[in-house]
Amino acid sequence: MAFRSLPFCSLDDMPDLAGKTVIVRADLNVPIDDGRVTDATRLSAAVPTLATLADRGAKVLVLSHFGRPKPGDRSLSLAAIAPALSDVMGRPVGFVGECIGPEAEAAVAAMAPGSILVLENARFHAGEEGNAPDFVAALARLGDFYVNDAFSVSHRAHASTEGLAHVLPAFAGRSMQAELDALEKALGKPVKPVAAVVGGAKVSSKLDVLLHLVARVEHLMIGGAMANTFLVAKGVSVGKSLAEPGLADVALDILARAEKAGCTVHLPYEVVVAKEFATHAPHRLVNVFEVADDEMILDIGPAAVEAFADALKTCATCVWNGPMGAFEMAPFDAGTVALARVAAGLTASGQLLSVAGGGDTVAALNHAGVADDFTFVSTAGGAFLEWMEGRVLPGVAALERD
């Protein structure tokens, strides 16, 4: 397994945990609506690590942030999440309304071996995001070992994701291990040829992703509004489509670098256009050279899906980030759904290793009903993108053995 060659310690390297306390950095930053968790994926991802440690007799502390609280605002409490974690774990999970200091220390002292306790939102303290040594020390006082199981927050150099790894013996949790293993197989040391499917609204937000990818993949399929910027750069009139014409030179530079590196860039040559940005807006299917001045591109057309799919079929590995069109609005979800189903089908038949992640991607794959059919779907948004840019994530780097 590729991960094993990486310089991390895992749960398998931990000593006897009887009588010990383990601080697990999980990502309990889940979406809620009216106090109820609407997507428990990240909670489920934490279960293997938490259950393993509890079953080994450790007192297990769950450390996380929740949202982006303003100084002094305590409304984003993890009290609402602890019961949902208990539900997915099928065992009791306690909660204490502090993550450092006497209240937290007393709660830890009172824990039975093998029990699990969620600590209050670490971002209630400025020292969390500031990675302040005194806050790190206060957290470290609670436990004997540190496990980072939150890949999705590992792009933050915060106390709970980075600082703690330097003051306690540090280990990668099961979810972290699975993420790193999948990412290694997708872009680190992939089986070639590799395809990258990249979509979303703006080239500007994924510039570094595209630059990193063209040097590493054989096929790059670009969809979503970001494809429009490339079309504009190539002299295509995209009407009133969302685009960043100011980035035309950058787009041309990316295309030139791709050509030099032997990466084939696929742009949609057939698109779905409408005059308004609305669900079920009247629309038509056109060749990309036939977009009228008062129309906007809202999806890739079936012929473009087929062309992307044909390239995908020649590949052994696929990394996917971003939707191909305005997938939240029917029928402009069709291109994303159709291409996602092709990737899922190729994965099911063993021809393709598929890894997806980042922002809207999971929502798009869930919408297509294929999230479970990909080889791996990351729990990460921003961290997945930073990894696709080839960046070193501070929370991951801090886990490396000296």
Among 26, 27, 203, 230, binds ligand 3PG (CB under 6 A): 27
- Site size for ligand 3PG (CB under 6 A): 8
| Sign of the alpha-carbon dihedral angle for 95, 99, 102, 104 | positive
CA distances to 82, 92, 289 from 95, rounded to whole Å, are 6, 10, 59
Q: How many CB atoms lie within 10 A of CB 130?
A: 15
- Asked if residue 195 lies in contact with residue 313, where contact means CB atoms within 8 angstroms, the answer is no
**From 239, 382, 390, 391, the catalytic residue:** 382
Of residues 151-170, which lie at the interface with ligand 3PG (CB under 6 A)?
152-153, 156
How would DSSP label each residue in 286-313? EEGGG--TT-EEEEE-HHHHHHHHHHHH
Query: Does residue 156 carry a catalytic annotation?
Result: no
Beta strand 296-300 with 283-287: parallel, antiparallel or unpaired?
unpaired
Nearest approach, Cβ of 209 to ligand 3PG (angstroms)? Answer: 16
Does 130 contact ligand 3PG by CB under 6 A?
no
Fill in the per-residue mask, 368 to 397: x = in contact with ligand 3PG (CB under 6 A), - = not in contact.
-------------xx---------------
185 part of the active site: no
Site for ligand 3PG in 66-105 (CB under 6 A): 68
361 binds ligand 3PG (CB under 6 A): no
Q: Which of 114, 130, 239, 359 is catalytic?
A: 359
Interacting residues with ligand 3PG between 294 and 313 (CB under 6 A): none
Size of the site for Mg ion (CB under 5 A): 2
Q: Are 330 and 357 in contact (CB under 8 A)?
A: no
Kindly indicate which of the ranges 73-81, 83-91, 278-286, 378-386 contains the residues binding Mg ion, using the contact rule CB under 5 A. 378-386
Cis peptide before 193 (omega within 30 of 0): yes
Q: Which of 29, 148, 228, 378 binds ligand 3PG (CB under 6 A)?
A: 29
Q: Are 268 and 252 in contact (CB under 8 A)?
A: no
Cβ contact 226:200 at 8 Å: yes
Torsion of CA 396, 397, 399, 402, to 10 degrees: 160
User: Smallest distance, Å, CB 294 to ligand 3PG?
Assistant: 37
Q: Shortest approach of ligand 3PG to residue 126 CB, angstroms?
A: 15
Helix (H, G, I), strand (E, B) or coil at 87: helix
Catalytic residue among 25, 42, 156, 185: 42
Q: Is 202 a catalytic residue?
A: yes
Helix %, strand %, coil % for the chain, to 5?
A: 45, 15, 40
* 125 touches ligand 3PG by CB under 6 A: no
Active site residue 382: yes
* Residues binding Mg ion (CB under 5 A): 381-382
* Residues binding ligand 3PG (CB under 6 A): 27, 29, 68, 152-153, 156, 381-382
Active site residues: 42, 202, 359, 382
